[in-house]
Structure 1
Amino acid sequence: MTYNEQDLKERTDKSYWLEHFQESSTKNRIKSPTYKYSNILDSILPKREDWNILEIGAFPGKHLASMSIRYGYKPVALDFIPRIHELTDSFKSFGINDLEIIEEDFFNWKTNRKFNVVMSYGFIEHFSDLNRTLSKHWDLVEEGGFMIITTPIFGPLQMLLRRLILTDEKLNSVLNAHNLSVMNVKKIDSLANTFNSAHRIFSSHIRHMDTWFKVTDSYVRRDRRIILYIWKIIAIIPSILKWSNRLFSPTGMIIYQKENS
């Protein structure tokens, strides 16, 4: 599989991510290995110290560290930004001494290796060719292993929130960096379901009515902060009732297992 550089340049490039992480560098250290998706994954993933787990686009590493600790897997971190090497010390602070780091462009990386769990969080939506991106994830999965994909979902209310509270500069940056056409649970699920030996385990919207914006964020309009306050108050209801759907939930997740041939 060859890499078409236009797929990346249409959305983001290395300089984009270097700037993105530099702007929020103090937040990109692993502060706590508490895994927010354990309520979903605990009933799916086995605890196996003989398994490995690959995260694509791994920096800043909180998901990978959490999964390694919780399920016992050997962590492998793949990213194309040099800061990926900072994870070595971060992981050691939590007793993870066997982290493997691969500083490579995902699409240019050539390997015959397979992994028991292959995952990416907020990765696929930055590329134009969903088939190419998702297929390469799947090719890396070992028989009996799992592919875990999450993507932000800009559904009707999540998109409205962004248009109301974000500065024009921030909104344009967000929209330009994301391929909205692939940020769709049904579309991702339908494609994954066509892969060889693919067995659907989970496919749904998640995280209730959460938002990762804070009223103190510099790119939230001062005169619109009250909207974000109101959103967060209303969001308590779906959280209590454990409601998630395409209208207001911020994230989509699919999990597929590669059946033994």
Structure 2
Amino acid sequence: MSNELTDRNFWANYWESKKGLAFKVPTTYTFHKLLKSVLDKNQISTAIELGGFPGYYAIFLKKYFSIDATLFDFYVHKPVLNEVLAANDLVEKDIKVIEGDLFQYPSEQKYDLVLSAGLIEHFNDTQDIIARHVNFLKPGGTLFITLPNFTGVNGWVQRTYDADNYSKHNINSMNPQLLADCCKALGLKDVQSYYYGKYSIWLENKEQQSAPVKAFFKLLWLAGKVVTKIIPVESKLMSPYIVVTATM
């Protein structure tokens, strides 16, 4: 892959270290309201989730909306994928799976919806990785991208307590205006780019942290929840995500 901040070995180790991956994807899965709105406004029968292993959003779309869903990723851990599918009463044939390199794969098939969650921030050239999404879009199709916001409180937590994970992210990409400009430069229309979510923080290595760090983490989490309950706004400082939508 080109201009990436991670490699195949990173993702193999990442997924093999994760626990509890095989769960039933709920109707209220993250971004469900936004995705429901996209589906309500557009005629969508096919969708591809890029970089989405183990395919929670592909499963969400197939399971609850009967969308013909495809999962595309650079690394697919088949045993984990089968466990996740089984937990959702699905089998391998229910979700199309493509293991490949976005920078080499001939995107001949086009889709009504192209989405990714937590993918584009792992690349240095933001416009280029968005262009890889656009290659899969049908004319009139919808682009739906989400990424974490590490430019506020959550970013400070990541940088302070999990610097290795933080370094695998292109922080410069976490800019709604930049993302909107990239989409417009690629000829996309109806572009929207914004901070999303009231407040949340997380750590991939939380279980390995000391008791004092875990206690501080909980205190910071509670404090942020209180603040955003009083002032319920989505912002660079507090929101955990950035969302981008556009049409071809």
User: When the two structures are superposed, what TM-score results if normalisation uses the length of structure 2?
Assistant: 0.87
Contact between 1:60 and 1:84, CA under 8 Å: does it hold in 2?
Answer: no
Letter in 1 for 2:142: F
Equivalent residue for 2:182, pick from 191, 208, 214: 191
Change (3 A) 1:228 1:114: same
Q: Secondary structure at the match of 1:136?
A: helix
Letter in 1 for 2:212: D
Q: Secondary structure at the match of 1:70?
A: helix
Aligned to 1:147: 143
Change (3 A) 1:32 1:241: farther
**Cα distance in structure 2, aligned partners of 1:240 and 1:104:** 46
Letter in 2 for 1:160: W
Contact between 1:49 and 1:73, CA under 8 Å: does it hold in 2?
Answer: no
Q: CA deviation at 1:111?
A: 2.5
Consecutive aligned runs of 4 or more in structure 1 exceeding 6 Å deviation:
47-50
Equivalent residue for 1:108, pick from 104, 110, 117: 104
**Cα distance in structure 2, aligned partners of 1:56 and 1:141:** 12
Stretch of structure 1 that moved more, 189-198 or 87-96: 87-96
Q: What is the CA deviation profile of residues 6-50 of structure 1, one whole-angstrom value per residue up to 9, with x for unaligned ones? A: x12xx11000000011111x3222432332212223223238897
Stretch of structure 1 that moved more, 152-161 or 137-146: 152-161
Aligned to 1:14: 8
% same residue: 21
Letter in 2 for 1:16: F
Aligned to 1:228: 217
Is 1:250 aligned with 2:240? yes
Change (3 A) 1:221 1:163: farther
Q: CA deviation at 1:134?
A: 0.5
Change (3 A) 1:48 1:183: closer
Equivalent residue for 1:27, pick from 12, 20, 31: 20
Equivalent residue for 2:37, pick from 43, 53, 56: 43
Aligned to 1:121: 117
Aligned to 2:88: 94
Change (3 A) 1:47 1:33: farther
Equivalent residue for 1:209, pick from 195, 199, 224: 199
Unaligned runs of 5+ in 2: none
Change (3 A) 1:197 1:59: closer
Letter in 2 for 1:226: A
Contact between 1:120 and 1:148, CA under 8 Å: does it hold in 2?
Answer: yes
Q: Secondary structure at the match of 1:177?
A: coil
Change (3 A) 1:92 1:23: closer
Q: CA deviation at 1:131?
A: 1.6
Contact between 2:195 and 2:241, CA under 8 Å: does it hold in 1?
Answer: yes
User: When the two structures are superposed, what TM-score results if normalisation uses the length of structure 1?
Assistant: 0.83
**Cα distance in structure 1, aligned partners of 2:142 and 2:9:** 31
Q: What is the CA deviation profile of residues 120-179 of structure 1, one whole-angstrom value per residue up to 9, with x for unaligned ones? A: 111111111112110110121112221111111112322222344x1xxx32x1122111
Unaligned runs of 5+ in 1: none
**Cα distance in structure 2, aligned partners of 1:85 and 1:246:** 38
Equivalent residue for 2:73, pick from 75, 79, 95: 79
Q: CA deviation at 1:101?
A: 0.7
Aligned to 2:172: 181
Stretch of structure 1 that moved more, 218-227 or 12-21: 218-227
Q: CA deviation at 1:119?
A: 0.7
Q: Secondary structure at the match of 1:108?
A: coil
Change (3 A) 1:82 1:233: closer
Equivalent residue for 1:131, pick from 115, 123, 127: 127
Change (3 A) 1:84 1:225: same
**RMSD value, Cα:** 2.5
